[in-house]
């Protein structure tokens, strides 16, 4: 994975470089997504309560979700964060403008974000909380709209208290997993020459300049080695006086092996995402009505048991199984690194499998329910409109025969990639006995993959 | 160690190949199944038949209007509470096919799903075989070609 295999996209496409450096480009896209986001909230509040006839539910949880997890994240990493409407109003208030670079400091109380919260734990617990209520949030337009509205209010409040995108970096439950899976993407924003950044005294990418703001994501682009916390806002592209920032095409999953940045909070994000994909596949796509009733809060005791099991599997069962396999692998490969370090390092092998699992899960309901998008675009509120003549189109599953094949292919790809990551991590810790450590993990990953396959095909 | 590993991989590959073998077909039978649809579950949620069997489904609804759409067979039938409907077809395609509610029946309507499994479920067996072969091939590759590279130096980065 040497740097010379990477392709400097902006050198090859100078027009794209000009576009990305334009101060109007990102706000224009954000205004567009903000319009759709506002419509989703309004239709949730004032439209039909039937989720499959409501723009808010269909466009957020089917169209946007499919776009995000099947296309944007795997191929473009954090590209969604570049155009996400949720932080937009707060950021524009901070900056006292939308397009132009306002002089002076950002407008906020300039409070410091607590050091103990400078990690993914808030995002982990936020995602788990949302996921526990997912059967409600994903299907009730009104509640879904309040959750989306809550996100935007929280983003505004945080932007008034703290500088920059604290909400995106440390709080947004969606941003957390996008960051994790952005490590898989075949594109990256990086400095062309890190030495030039090191020697550069003013560090405009951090402090800002007349051309743009200091990095709103609070990273130092000059030493960026992973996609995880870069929101692709392109401010550093605008501020760098040496034209030293670029976007490159690179090997898929290259960030997973930047081991000096491996952390427990990120490892747990990998566990949570994989476990949630498995649990969603069981609860939402399975034939077990009693589980759907429990998730749907038909009775409080049943829901409480469901929630306890949901959190237990996410935080204890899967990490516990993984920890057990780590012990076996450490013993088999005679590795001397601390168990905690090995547990964290190997957990990054769950990133490709987790992403594959989410794509497979999403294919399972997006193809089945995607046709609702055509009818709700003509009648977003479910009030009997027919704006584009498609309101009466009936529900039709798309390519039901192809979904299983796609799921199988994606899961197999994620599994093989995961085994490859395990082997590389093992080679780092015990070069001569990498295979000894790989085999137990290969067994676990294969078992998990077969469970997914059984759920979808068996 | 290496011989044990290769023997294990061979066993995995043989299991995979066994999964790909055609299964013995049985004489076709007729299955009479009553499926009741209620928010948000079909009862039974899973039906298992053999390829070539005739399936006669009596569809009922016990609360609101529901429907049944069978993936892969493109069969759709709506049902009102108190009025049963009959669906008849030959299970000529092997695999797992979901039956879904086709009438918007409430909040969890998109997730009201049942499963028809037509044995020998060749697609599932093939998928498992493909995964096992891929994993065995991957481990073989890592043991045979990557181990020597690893001994020369790791590609990972840790400061």
Q: What percentage of chain B reaches a pLDDT higher than 70?
A: 92
Give domain B30-124's CATH architecture: Sandwich (2.60)
Question: Which residue among A139, A259, A412 places its CB closest to the CB of B157?
Answer: A259
Measure Cα distances from B22 to A158, A260, B53, B117 in Å. 62, 50, 17, 17
> What is the predicted pLDDT for the residue at B25?
78
> What is the predicted pLDDT for the residue at B40?
96
**pLDDT level of residue B157 (50, 70, 90 thresholds):** low
The answer to whether the CB atoms of A434 and B150 lie below 8 A apart is: yes
Question: Which residue among B43, B102, B131 places its CB closest to the CB of A450?
Answer: B131
Distance in Å, alpha carbon of A46 to nearest chain B alpha carbon: 16
The answer to whether the CB atoms of A290 and B110 lie below 8 A apart is: no
> What is the predicted pLDDT for the residue at B148?
61
- Write the DSSP assignment of B42-97 as a string of letters: EESSEEEEETT-EEEEEEEESSS-EEEEETTTTEEEEEBTTB-EEEEEE--S-EEE
Evaluate whether A247 touches A189 at the Cβ level (below 8 Å): yes
Residues 128-157 of B with CB under 8 A from A: 128, 130-132, 134-135, 138-139, 142-143, 146-147, 150-151, 153-157
**Is the preceding peptide bond at B44 cis, omega within 30 degrees of 0?**
yes
- Residues contacting A4, CB < 8 A, separation 6+: none
Distance in Å, alpha carbon of A159 to nearest chain B alpha carbon: 34
Q: Name chain A contacts of B98, Cβ cutoff 8 Å.
A: 368, 400
Q: How far apart are CA A49 and CA B5, in angstroms?
A: 58
Under 8 Å CB pairs connecting chains A and B tally to 162
Q: What percentage of chain B reaches a pLDDT higher than 90?
A: 84
State the burial class of residue A257 (Cβ atoms within 10 Å of its Cβ: 0-12, 13-18, 19+): buried
> What is the predicted pLDDT for the residue at B145?
83
pLDDT at A302 over 50: yes
Which residue of A137, A282, A289 is the best one to mutate when testing the B interface, meaning the one whose CB has the most B CBs within 10 A? A289
> What is the predicted pLDDT for the residue at B159?
41
The answer to whether the CB atoms of A431 and B121 lie below 8 A apart is: no
Average pLDDT over residues A275-299: 97
Q: How far apart are CA A190 and CA A200, in angstroms?
A: 16
> What is the predicted pLDDT for the residue at B158?
55
Q: How far apart are CA B114 and CA A138, in angstroms?
A: 20
pLDDT at A3 over 70: no
Does residue B31 belong to the interface with chain A, where contact is any CB pair within 8 Å?
Answer: no
Question: Which residue among B96, B110, B131 places its CB closest to the CB of A415?
Answer: B131
Does residue B11 belong to the interface with chain A, where contact is any CB pair within 8 Å?
Answer: no
Per-residue pLDDT of A227-246, as tens digits, reads 999 999 999 999 999 999 99
Per-residue pLDDT of A358-413, as tens digits, reads 999 999 989 999 999 999 999 999 999 999 999 999 999 998 889 999 999 999 99
Q: How far apart are CA A186 and CA A253, in angstroms?
A: 7
Domain boundaries, chain B: 30-124
The answer to whether the CB atoms of B156 and A427 lie below 8 A apart is: yes
Average pLDDT over residues A28-32: 98
Residues 37-66 of B with CB under 8 A from A: 38, 40-43, 45-46
Q: What is the mean pLDDT of chain A?
A: 97
Per-residue pLDDT of B52-83, as tens digits, reads 999 999 999 999 999 999 999 999 999 999 99
**pLDDT level of residue A2 (50, 70, 90 thresholds):** very low
> What is the predicted pLDDT for the residue at A1?
45
The answer to whether the CB atoms of A51 and B107 lie below 8 A apart is: yes
Does residue B24 belong to the interface with chain A, where contact is any CB pair within 8 Å?
Answer: no
Per-residue pLDDT of A347-359, as tens digits, reads 999 999 999 999 9
């Amino acid at each position: 994975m040497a740097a010379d295999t990477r392709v400097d996209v902006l050198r090859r496409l100078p027009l794209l470089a000009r576009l990305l450096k334009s101060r109007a480009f990102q706000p224009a896209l954000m205004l567009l997504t903000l319009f759709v986001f506002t419509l989703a909230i309004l239709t949730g509040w004032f439209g039909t309560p039937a989720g499959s006839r409501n723009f808010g539910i269909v466009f957020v949880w089917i169209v946007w979700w499919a776009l995000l997890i099947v296309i944007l994240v795997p191929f473009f990493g954090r590209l969604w964060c570049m155009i996400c409407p949720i932080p937009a109003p707060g950021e524009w208030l901070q900056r006292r403008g939308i397009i132009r670079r306002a002089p002076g400091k950002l407008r906020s109380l300039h409070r410091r974000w607590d050091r103990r919260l400078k990690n993914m734990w808030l995002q982990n617990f936020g995602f788990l909380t949302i996921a526990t209520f997912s059967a409600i949030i994903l299907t009730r337009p009104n509640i879904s709209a309040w959750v989306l509205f809550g996100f935007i209010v929280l983003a505004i409040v945080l932007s008034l208290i703290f500088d920059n995108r604290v909400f995106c970096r440390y709080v947004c439950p969606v941003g957390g997993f996008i960051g994790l899976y952005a490590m898989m993407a075949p594109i990256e924003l990086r400095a062309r020459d890190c030495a030039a950044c090191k020697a550069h005294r003013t560090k405009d990418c951090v402090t800002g300049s007349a051309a743009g703001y200091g990095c709103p994501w609070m990273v130092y682009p000059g030493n960026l080695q992973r996609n995880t916390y870069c929101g692709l806002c392109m401010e550093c592209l605008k501020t760098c006086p040496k034209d030293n920032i670029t976007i490159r095409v690179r090997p898929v999953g290259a960030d997973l092996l930047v081991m000096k940045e491996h952390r427990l909070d990120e490892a747990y994000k990998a566990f949570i995402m994989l476990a949630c994909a498995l649990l969603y596949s069981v609860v939402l796509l399975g034939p077990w009505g009693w589980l759907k009733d429990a998730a749907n809060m038909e009775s409080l005791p049943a829901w409480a048991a469901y929630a306890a099991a949901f959190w237990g599997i996410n935080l204890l069962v899967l990490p516990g199984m993984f920890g057990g396999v780590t012990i076996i692998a450490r013993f088999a490969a005679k590795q001397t690194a601390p168990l905690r370090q090995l547990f964290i390092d190997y957990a990054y092998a769950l990133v490709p499998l987790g992403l594959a699992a989410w794509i497979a899960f999403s294919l399972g309901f997006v193809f089945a329910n995607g046709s609702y998008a055509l009818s709700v675009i003509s009648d977003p509120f479910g009030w009997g409109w027919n704006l584009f003549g498609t309101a009466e189109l009936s529900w039709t599953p798309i390519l039901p025969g192809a979904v299983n094949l796609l799921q199988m292919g994606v899961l197999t790809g994620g599994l093989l990639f995961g085994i490859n990551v395990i082997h590389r991590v093992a080679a780092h810790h015990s070069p001569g006995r990498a295979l000894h450590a790989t085999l137990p993990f290969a067994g676990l990953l294969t078992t998990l993959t077969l469970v997914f396959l059984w759920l979808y095909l068996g | 160690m290496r011989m044990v590993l290769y023997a294990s991989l061979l066993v995995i590959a043989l299991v995979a190949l066994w999964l790909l073998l055609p299964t013995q077909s049985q004489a076709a039978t007729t299955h009479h199944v009553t499926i009741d649809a209620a928010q948000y579950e079909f009862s039974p949620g899973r039906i298992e038949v053999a390829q070539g069997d005739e399936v006669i489904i009596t569809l009922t609804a016990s609360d609101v209007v529901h429907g049944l759409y069978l993936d892969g067979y493109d069969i759709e039938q709506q049902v009102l509470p108190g009025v049963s409907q009959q669906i008849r077809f030959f299970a000529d395609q092997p695999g797992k096919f979901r039956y879904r509610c086709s009438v918007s029946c409430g909040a969890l309507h998109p997730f009201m799903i049942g499963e028809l499994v037509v044995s020998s479920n060749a697609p599932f067996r093939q998928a498992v075989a493909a995964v096992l072969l891929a994993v065995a091939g991957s481990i073989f590759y890592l043991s045979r070609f990557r181990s020597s590279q690893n001994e020369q130096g790791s590609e990972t980065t840790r400061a």
